[in-house]
Amino acid sequence: MILQRKRILLIISGGIAAYKSLDLIRRLRERGASVRPVMTAGAQAFVTPLAVGALAADKVFTELFSREDEQDVGHIRLARDCDLILIAPATADLMAKMANGHADDLASTILLATDKPVLAAPAMNPKMWTHPATQRNHQTLVGDGIHFIGPTSGEMAESGEKGEGRMAEPLEIVAAVEALLDTGDKPLAGKKAIVTSGPTHEPIDPVRYIANRSSGKQGHAIAAELARLGAEVTLVSGPVTIPDPKGVTTIHVERAEDMRDAVLANLPADIAVMVAAVADWRVASAAGNKIKKQPGEAPPPLILAENPDILKTIGRHPQRPTLVVGFAAETQNVAENGRSKLERKGADYIIANDVSPETGIMGGDRNRVKVIGKAGDEDWPEMGKQVVAERIARLIASHFA
Ligand code: CTP
């Protein structure tokens, strides 16, 4: 919706990631944007203007001193007749030119002449990205108001080297473009949402507890996104070290039972998103005083009792919210386990992720999810938790459109 009739000037500079720009053009256009491509000389060594022009359904601009183009459109008009300039990939060289105000080809001249928002998706070898010169240029550009998405870490296409330097995925770039062009449309205005986030702490005694590795990053980001789309959001958060999101009412709890009570106290609601990693078990009777070691005695046994299932309670509640979304943290059979949770807990969607330690998802900044709905599954590529949150919030909003 946001990209409908938006004009994106896409600058492609010379890197192997330029092949991803072809997909990026498609993704932008299928959301209703028009894409006018500009290619540097380097870019044309990786993808042809013919392919770029065909996907964009527009002329590809490559020359600064083209008499024909200057009379027709001109570099100043290219720089101004758009809603946003997107650079993908942005090479170390183009960033260096921008940081120093060079204007020796069409792309750099446009970037110097524009008064529109500029979003750059850097892509380069990890050593080039971490080089002090590039880092300095990056800082300068951030200070100049240039927006960045990525780079992300992973294996490089050409050398197999690992590290930060990969261009963000096309869908992540699209989400960043949408966030920048979002004029504050509030599709969830008037809707009430309850979100749970973080772990729960189940006391053993006054000083010890059972917990898990959840950081709250994904749940907090979803709460903030729903609020940004206009919803009135109550976030019920377990113990986390991240700040309360802006624009959201946050209730802090420790135990699963407190989390359930806080959620139920906030019904009725239109939307429930249960992201918390609720402890499945609590200690059946937590000690009132610190349990002491007794010389010669065996360690005390921990007798566990099952905690209430908050998602299931909400999914089957007489005041069930219109849309109920749960998460599924799995380490195996993600799709099957996720689907069975969808049915068992009465949810409309389950966002399933593989939280095996090697994925680094639990506690980390990135996520790779499978969205399981009544109509079918959708695999989303790995992306930042913030971008996952934006997409989940949009998915929720689409149900109230
Ligand atoms: N959930 C909940 N209350 C619980 C346990 C889980 O509300 N006591 C919610 C979570 O917030 C999440 C979903 O249920 O939205 C699935 O959580 P998960 O830990 O993956 O599943 P469990 O029900 O705990 O099942 P299992 O541990 O067997 O995988």
Which sign, positive or negative, has the C-alpha torsion 236, 263, 369, 167?
A: negative
- The residue-averaged pLDDT of 180-191 equals 89
Instruction: For residue 277, report the distance from its CA to the centre of ligand 1, in Å.
Output: 7
* pLDDT for residue 149: 95
Instruction: For residue 384, report the distance from its CA to the centre of ligand 1, in Å.
Output: 22
Q: Residue 18 is encoded by which pair of tokens? A: 């330029």
Q: Is 334 in the pocket of ligand 1 (CB under 6 A)?
A: no
Ligand 1 atom nearest 328 alpha carbon: 20
Q: Cα–Cα distance between 196 and 179 in angstroms, integer?
A: 24
Give tens-digit pLDDT for 138-182: 999 988 889 999 999 877 766 778 889 999 999 999 999 998 998
Give tens-digit pLDDT for 313-329: 999 999 999 999 999 99
Q: Cα–Cα distance between 353 and 373 in angstroms, integer?
A: 14
Q: Find tokens 């349990």 and name the residue.
A: 291
Give tens-digit pLDDT for 351-392: 999 888 888 888 888 899 999 999 999 998 888 888 899 899
Evaluate if residue 69 carries a pLDDT over 80.
no
Find the largest Cα–Cα distance for the chain. 94
Give tens-digit pLDDT for 6-61: 999 999 999 999 999 999 999 999 999 999 999 999 999 999 999 999 999 999 99
Q: Cα–Cα distance between 150 and 120 in angstroms, integer?
A: 8
* pLDDT for residue 134: 98
Q: Is 121 in the pocket of ligand 1 (CB under 6 A)?
A: no
* Beta strand 192-197 pairing with 232-237: parallel
Whether 251 and 258 have beta carbons less than 8 Å apart is answered as no
Find all residues with CB under 8 Å of 251, minimum gap 6, and list them.
234, 235, 236, 237, 262
Q: Is 272 in the pocket of ligand 1 (CB under 6 A)?
A: no
Angle of CA points 314, 317, 319, to nearest 5°: 100
Q: Residue 7 is encoded by which pair of tokens? A: 């004009």
Among candidate residues 159, 98, 95, 83, the one with its CA nearest the CA of residue 121? 95
Q: CATH 3.40.50.1950 spans which residues of the chain? A: 7-181
Q: CATH 3.40.50.10300 spans which residues of the chain? A: 192-400
Angle of CA points 136, 149, 47, to nearest 5°: 95
Full-prediction pTM beyond 0.85?
no
Q: Is 256 in the pocket of ligand 1 (CB under 6 A)?
A: yes
**Strands, E assignment, 1-126:** 7-12, 34-39, 84-90, 118-122
CA dist 237 → 42, 138, 139, 271, 286 (Å): 49, 35, 34, 16, 22
Q: Cα–Cα distance between 277 and 362 in angstroms, integer?
A: 10
137, 212, 307, 367: the catalytic one is 212
Q: Cα–Cα distance between 372 and 143 in angstroms, integer?
A: 41
Ligand 1 atom nearest 313 alpha carbon: 7
Give tens-digit pLDDT for 291-319: 999 899 999 999 999 999 999 999 999 99
Whether 10 and 86 have beta carbons less than 8 Å apart is answered as yes
CATH of the domain spanning 192-400 = 3.40.50.10300
Q: Find tokens 């290219």 and name the residue.
A: 78
Q: Find tokens 């998706």 and name the residue.
A: 121
Q: Cα–Cα distance between 336 and 321 in angstroms, integer?
A: 25
Q: Find tokens 């980001």 and name the residue.
A: 221
Query: Does 367 participate in catalysis according to the annotation?
Result: no
**195, 210, 274, 278: residue to mutate for ligand 1 pocket, most atoms within 8 A of CB:** 278
Q: Is 310 in the pocket of ligand 1 (CB under 6 A)?
A: yes
Bridge partner residues of 163 (DSSP): 154
Q: What is the DSSP code string of 191-205?
A: -EEEEEESB--EEEE
Backbone angles phi, psi at 29, to 5 degrees: -70, -35
Whether 86 and 148 have beta carbons less than 8 Å apart is answered as no
Q: Cα–Cα distance between 121 and 109 in angstroms, integer?
A: 18
Q: Cα–Cα distance between 351 and 361 in angstroms, integer?
A: 13
**Strands, E assignment, 269-399:** 271-274, 281-283, 304-306, 323-330, 349-354, 366-367, 369-373, 376-379, 383-384
Evaluate if residue 67 carries a pLDDT over 80.
no
Q: Report the chain's C-alpha Rg in angstroms.
A: 25
Instruction: For residue 242, report the distance from its CA to the centre of ligand 1, in Å.
Output: 22
Q: Is 257 in the pocket of ligand 1 (CB under 6 A)?
A: no
CATH of the domain spanning 7-181 = 3.40.50.1950
Whether 213 and 276 have beta carbons less than 8 Å apart is answered as no
